[in-house]
Structure 1
Amino acid sequence: MLGLCLGLAGTLWAQVPTDNFTLAWNHSIEKIRWEEDYNVTLQGLVLVEARVKGTGAGMEIPDDAYFKDGNWHYQPKLPTLPILRLGRTPEAGDFELCFTQISGDIQCKAMSHWIGPPNKHIAAVEVWGCDNQAMTIE
């Protein structure tokens, strides 16, 4: 298992034991939930699918999206990401990480569970595969 690392500027704050995860959040203005499914690989993070419940400011649904179970589903066309940098402020709310536990149950927890609540002094977090060669923790 590779694992998911959370930190900033090369400093490791926490590790989450998973090879795939869902990153979820509510749009800061529209309050509509977004979800993105990622696989953790040796090359980086691969965005597999994204879902959004509706449209709004800056939330256009791609032409190839399909509607299922109350969400618009689509496959973003992005290269493998060595690092995913996320803005994180108290005003915008927190991200949620969901992953399958060894028992097979899906666990979802706010990112603050691993790294504390968002704050104004550190307004970002970086996410990467723990064994990703593009991001080495010294």
Structure 2
Amino acid sequence: MQKVTIAETPLEKEQAFEVRRKVFVEEQGVPLHIEMDEFDESAVHFVGYELEQPIAAARIREIEMGTGKIERVCVLPEYRGLHAGVLMMEEMEQYALKAGLFTLKLNAQSYAVPFYEKLDYVVTTPEFMDAGIPHRGMEKKIT
């Protein structure tokens, strides 16, 4: 992946939403009304690009003083395993530090727990279902 940017323009946000639709709605079968939610308006969205094509997306939002929640992390299937997800997470962590968010939480799809554990996230909840998909809560302190 060549670059990760904060989605600031309407086009960049639409590119983030399009990657999310392809992964979560088309590939994983999450209903669109669950995937696109009330937090999309206020969250900070990130888009990862390869040769100017959007290939990854995620968002972060402050959920309480000093705590951010990372959500909707996704990479198009043909770009998985090429460190795009790692680059997305690193960019969001840098953003979080600058924004004064020193604890990051996320709900990982259970199959992705090992990915986040490699990035020093720790499982904090038993498995639970979200949109029909097994998840685990995870957390990381950043400095």
Q: TM-score, normalised by structure 2?
A: 0.25
Q: Which has the higher contact order (CA 8 A, sep 6+)?
A: 1
Which structure is larger by alpha-carbon Rg, 1 or 2? 1
* Structure number having the greater helix percentage: 2
Structure with greater strand share of residues: 1
Q: State the TM-score, normalizing by the size of structure 1.
A: 0.26
